[in-house]
Structure 1
């Protein structure tokens, strides 16, 4: 990593502008074995198209995306998917938290998660949920960040190689800061 990363919430235009950089991060993370909904062999053009496909949701306010960048590249990202059903507007889901392998161990995942949690609370969300591969390093991160383990679903998702893995569900109550 070259210098500290800065975390920024992306507009739809910024998301489109850095889709190729986000694609490189996604491809590298999947190549490293992370279960993010993609299979081995994911290539840059397909990953960039996936990121570009999120722009309408950002415009509509159904999705918020943050990118962390150092001087050279995108080093991490996280999203918050807001629920648009009338009975679920108090909750949202943390999505696609990933940090480039070269940038891990420096608190970047925690910084991205905190930015997403704070923004969700400011938007009126009081309950966040997420899922992660059981026994992955992410489980430790979420526990240390105050998330509560809700349970495990066996054979929920495949890793990039196609092997089935359990998924652990987490939740966290968040509150708007009072000034």
Structure 2
């Protein structure tokens, strides 16, 4: 049973990202060090984690194709999620959920659920009625997505290298119609 906590969720601008770059980098590192399968492997240092936000997320935000939501407890960044809606003309009805991150010290408090609920609200406002995501098969996030109404489209074996190992993990592709 998860405990619900009070957090505030903000939609970050590109300027907000730059102002909070060290905190966002620290959040990513904490999640990777805790084993999160979010594209990085150990060791994950400051340069790599901040480089992700600066080099991958920031350009998409500036181009107008990505929403970055940030959950805070007090002044501390506790979690983030991204809504990527930079799609081809024949896919203007869908978007992708990317990089749901909750700091290990803030897990099991309802933050991931709150971020996902707000993400879906943004998707609806953008007239995106189909969301997709991928998650490591068997990861602790998979049951959350199922509880939120996401359905499994399939499982791809050997999809990505483990965060702490050289073995390859399967990924589950999921979707939800809004």
- C-alpha distance in 2, partners of 1:114/1:121? 11
What is the DSSP-based 3-state SS (H/G/I as helix, E as strand, rest coil) of the residue aligned with 1:64?
strand
**Retained in 2: the 8 A contact 1:83–1:91?**
no
1:119-139 per-position Cα deviation (integer Å, ceiling 9, x unaligned): 011101010000000011111
Partner of 2:25: 23
| Pairing 1:31-46 to 2, within 5 Å after superposition | 31-46=33-48
Partner of 1:140: 143
Indicate the larger mover: 120-129 or 64-73: 64-73
Is it true that 1:163 corresponds to 2:174 in the alignment?
A: no
What is the DSSP-based 3-state SS (H/G/I as helix, E as strand, rest coil) of the residue aligned with 1:34?
coil
Structure 1 residue aligned with 2:58, among 51, 55, 58? 55
| Pairing 1:50-89 to 2, within 5 Å after superposition | 50-53=52-55, 54-89=57-92
Partner of 1:117: 120
- C-alpha distance in 1, partners of 2:101/2:59? 22
Using structure 1 for the length normalisation, give the TM-score.
0.92
- C-alpha distance in 2, partners of 1:127/1:94? 10
**Deviant stretches of 4+, over 2 Å:** none
**Retained in 1: the 8 A contact 2:161–2:167?**
yes
Q: List gaps (5 residues or longer) in structure 2.
A: none
- C-alpha distance in 2, partners of 1:163/1:33? 13
- C-alpha distance in 2, partners of 1:158/1:133? 10
**Retained in 2: the 8 A contact 1:80–1:116?**
yes
**Retained in 1: the 8 A contact 2:14–2:61?**
yes
- C-alpha distance in 2, partners of 1:27/1:83? 26
Give, in angstroms, the shift of residue 71 of structure 1. 2.3
- C-alpha distance in 1, partners of 2:75/2:10? 15
